[in-house]
Chains A and B, each alone.
Chain A
């Protein structure tokens, strides 16, 4: 009854897991302090949906007591990867590394349908900026041509996939490509140059949310940054790491390091919590690669979130009041991995006219989790419903996020609640830019 269905020993990835993750899993003292921090434990109510449960399952799989395909993949796939458990852990178990090692080991067992979707996005789309741009333009055409209205009224997408239907509605209006700064450009500081900042454009941010990227650059120049947009930069690889595609993630990391390290910038700035965390972890990702380890460390040390730079070089030259009640939903990867918590709040509170209210559960994942909301739609919506409940209690008219996934997820929540006429979800940069009179 208890024998694994297939011998774990024959699986190379499992062997790898034993070498990579087993020692980490043994650091867990099973105290359970991670349980209250875990959104999936809260929503699902079973130990296998908790960090302690998952860590122990990885350990058991490495020991050959349970089977990878049958027993481990479910609980691992259902993890959001928000890493709030790492912040709660009193002994510092590197959960993120355990999770990624486990994802790599179970990747060969992913169901075919899911594999196709992942492969399409991860291998053929995100790593190619030009394809992302094309996709972005396509979506813009789709939005502007009236096709989106047609699709929405036909409810066609909903029949194919409720997840996609929600996502389609959550996409922000896409800005015309003519307004984008081109790769390779240098944008001078508005007045005195205080820092030279290389800007990481990201893949989704660059294609779907290019307006936020443009505003980010303009804000940087306002506080005295000369902004460089390195050509040949690429997707950060976060989604690849999260989906167990470590090789791809490493290749993308090297491409970015190469693109950025040629430029003599003081800082490398990004505006997406998930990407930023990934950039900061290049150091660990390439630690064993003697050719790249040094450069990766320098790269990670230079990486900063936009909120850190703006707070450091601020105050911003605000010209307008921002009216309304504003609350902030932390990006898990900004909060739990990059450990940036206070800067976005201080920036928001510095805006004239703003009424800032803290939301209960601000530090809990919204269940966007990369592409979690696509892969595990129902579980994701259950967690989102709880989040919307907390949001409604704040009476906020704007919910601010710092990651494209979170921003879209909040949009989905707002639309599901039919609250679009009184709440909007905005990126921190959009709110700051508005108060600075940028359009």
Chain B
């Protein structure tokens, strides 16, 4: 970066929030995905004016800008792949207002998502998207990556709740999209365009989020299946019976075994699948619905069904699911976590394909995920220092995406495209589909400064490269 640009930056932001030394820059070179890219400078703006001025300057000097929150992305969204400046927005967190009458929240991007959950609940309201990183991740990151979590099945993803934004465009203007009304059909829906744009179209500096009434009650049960195909039938039967669970989670046999060898807790080693199902709503309704779901599981061949009768029993059921991450990382230090998503009736077919991929490449591949909405998390556990195996991982990852697309699904259900899935965009959208998106990007960001290297593949890039 030229000295003149650095001097100009220091006119905008004080020294205490501008980092040039190596250690600090390295601290913003990673996220929770894969890859390490060193930025030239890290800046911590604290208001929209600073963001706007920084971006204007970057646009003049053609400096790449990578916005980031807490860096929990699993797809490489915040990585400064072209160097330049990282904008750490975690200090932009002064606003968290709950508007009870209008059932909405007005938030700064650096606010932690769990803080919104907490504040909303205190007002008797509910913000449903619940990525597993919600205690860490910022709402700005969540909405630019369009994250969700187990509750996506019933409540949808982040985009269903964002109704208004304040955005700094790639040329540094401050614009507002949408507003405080649930109904808003004025012009193009820029709010929806920006949510999930992975920081390539704008930097969100304020968001208006829709809240809904808090469900009165919830109930959970677990079902074990000796045959995977039976669990698939149970899922489709439940969903077609008129019941909409708030979560419907799945663990495969490799997952069950990993958890059981990590912390023995009586999980069935012979089972090919475990389903965890939670229903929320009116206490009388959920009582009836949970029993009906349990009956369906039994009828479809579940070997064991247990409805939690207390909060402790509920915790025990969920703890198996929560132990998945620590359990699988015992198998190796590098975890490639995917979120290929298929129409839910194709889950058994997808599982079969994943099994074939696991056998073909002889990899540690386990699957868990949000089965109710078809959002599976195939995780490959490996060691990035083992280059030969990493080459196999690259091929396996390609095949996972191919399988998802062939089955009518999508590359990403909740992690975003980032750097890891960009090579496969054409596979899902076709060349014209990708070009249309590129035209939008070019119109918004003529100098390609905002989060370059994300979503769109580099020229000639056809598959993910994890090691060189």
Residues of A at the B interface (CB closer than 8 Å) are 1-2, 23, 26-27, 29-33, 35-36, 45-48, 53, 56-57, 60, 65-67, 70-72, 74-75, 90-92
Contacts and interface: CB of A to CB of B under 8 A. Distances in A.
B22 A66 contact: yes
Given A36-B135, A45-B90, A91 B23 contact: no
A65 B335 CA distance: 23
Contacts of B112: 36
Interface in B10-40: 19, 21-24, 26-28, 30-32, 38
Given A32-B71, A33-B133, A36-B136, A46 B23 contact: no
Nearest to B40: A1
Contacts of A75: 23
Given A27-B333, A45-B90, A45-B91, A32 B72 contact: yes
Tell which of B137, B333, B335 has the most Cβ of chain A within 10 Å.
B333
Nearest to B137: A32
B32 A35 contact: no
Contacts of A74: 23
A46 B26 contact: no
Contacts of A1: 22
B326 interface: yes
Tell which of B38, B322, B329, B383 has the most Cβ of chain A within 10 Å.
B329
A57 B26 contact: yes
Contacts of B326: 90-92
Nearest to B90: A45
A407 to B, nearest CB: 30
Q: What are the 5 A-B residue pairs with the smallest beta carbon separation, nearest first?
A: A47-B27, A71-B23, A91-B329, A26-B333, A53-B27
B44 interface: yes
Nearest to B335: A29
Contacts of B133: 31-33
Given A32-B70, A92-B326, A46 B135 contact: no
A322 B395 CA distance: 69
11 contacts: A26-B333, A26-B383, A30-B30, A30-B31, A32-B133, A36-B112, A36-B136, A46-B24, A48-B27, A56-B30, A65-B26
Nearest to B337: A29
A27 B26 contact: no
Nearest to A74: B23
A74 B19 CA distance: 14
A56 B32 contact: no
A23 B332 CA distance: 11
B325 interface: yes
Tell which of B27, B28, B137, B333 has the most Cβ of chain A within 10 Å.
B27
B27 A35 contact: no
B335 A72 contact: no
Q: How large is the interface on B (under 10, 10 to 19, 20 to 34, 35 or more residues)?
A: 20 to 34
B45 to A, nearest CB: 12
A31 B26 contact: no
Contacts of A36: 112, 135-136
A33 B27 contact: no
Contacts of B21: 71
A402 to B, nearest CB: 27
B83 to A, nearest CB: 12
A72 B322 CA distance: 33
B333 A30 contact: no
Contacts of B383: 26
Contacts of B88: 46-47
Interface in B81-104: 88, 90-91
A32 B38 contact: no
A30 B91 contact: no
Contacts of B44: 45-46
Contacts of A45: 44, 90-91
Given A48-B24, A53-B27, 20 more contacts: A26-B385, A29-B325, A29-B329, A29-B335, A30-B30, A30-B71, A31-B32, A31-B72, A32-B137, A33-B135, A45-B91, A47-B27, A66-B23, A67-B22, A70-B22, A71-B22, A71-B26, A72-B23, A75-B23, A90-B326
Contacts of B72: 31-32
Interface string B430-466: 0000000000000000000000000000000000000
Contacts of A32: 32, 70-72, 133, 136-137
A47 B28 contact: yes
Nearest to B20: A1
A53 B90 CA distance: 15
A217 B215 CA distance: 53
Contacts of A65: 26
A31 B335 CA distance: 11
Tell which of A29, A33, A36, A66 has the most Cβ of chain B within 10 Å.
A29
A48 to B, nearest CB: 5
A330 B331 CA distance: 34
A46 B71 contact: no
Nearest to B324: A90
Interface in B310-335: 322, 325-326, 329, 333, 335
A31 B385 CA distance: 19
Nearest to A71: B23
A31 B333 CA distance: 13
A45 B333 CA distance: 28
A47 B335 contact: no
